[in-house]
Amino acid sequence: MLRELNPGTRLLLGPGPSLVPPQVLRAMATPLVGHLDPDFLAILQDIRHMLRQVFGTQNELTLAVSGTGTSAMEAAIGNLLEPGDAMLACVQGYFGDRLAEIGRRYGAEVERLERPWGSVLEPEALDDALRRRQAKVVTLVHAETSTGALQPEIASLADICHRHSALMVLDCVTSLGGIAVEIDRWGVDVAYGASQKALSAPPGLAPITVGPRARQAMSQRRTPPPVFYFDLTLLDRYWGDQPSYHHTAPISTAYAFREALRLALEEGLDARYARHRANAERLWKGLEALDLPLLVPEPHRLTTLSTPRLPGTWDEAAVRRQLLERYGIEIAGGFGPLAGKVWRIGLMGYSSRRENVLTLLGALEELLSSH
Per-residue pLDDT of the chain (371 residues; tens, 9 = 90+): 899 998 889 999 999 999 999 999 999 999 999 999 999 999 999 999 999 999 999 999 999 999 999 999 999 999 999 999 999 999 999 999 999 999 999 999 999 999 999 999 999 999 999 999 999 999 999 999 999 999 999 999 999 999 999 999 999 999 999 999 999 999 999 999 999 999 999 999 999 999 999 999 999 999 999 999 999 999 999 999 888 899 999 999 999 999 999 999 999 999 999 999 999 999 999 999 999 999 999 999 999 999 999 998 889 999 999 999 999 999 999 999 999 999 999 999 999 999 999 999 999 999 988 76
The arrangement of secondary structure in 11-15+269-368, i.e. its CATH architecture, is: Alpha-Beta Complex (3.90)
**CA atoms of 79 and 317, how far apart (whole Å):** 40
- Calculate the average pLDDT of the chain: 97
CB 340 within 8 A of CB 333: yes
Res 89: pLDDT: 99
Predicted local confidence at residue 371, as pLDDT: 64
Percent of the chain with pLDDT over 90: 95
Q: Could you read off the pLDDT of 206-225 as tens digits, one per residue?
A: 999 999 999 999 999 999 99
Judged on CB neighbours under 10 Å (0-12, 13-18, 19+), 163 is: exposed
The ranges of the chain annotated as CATH 3.40.640.10 are: 22-265
Own/partner pairs for 27-31, CB < 8 Å, 24+ apart?
27/255, 27/256, 27/258, 27/259, 28/202, 28/252, 28/253, 28/255, 28/256, 29/252, 30/252, 30/255
CATH number attached to the domain at 22-265: 3.40.640.10
Residue intervals of the chain classified under CATH 3.90.1150.10 are 11-15+269-368
Determine the pLDDT at residue 242: 86
Which pLDDT does position 313 carry in this prediction?
83
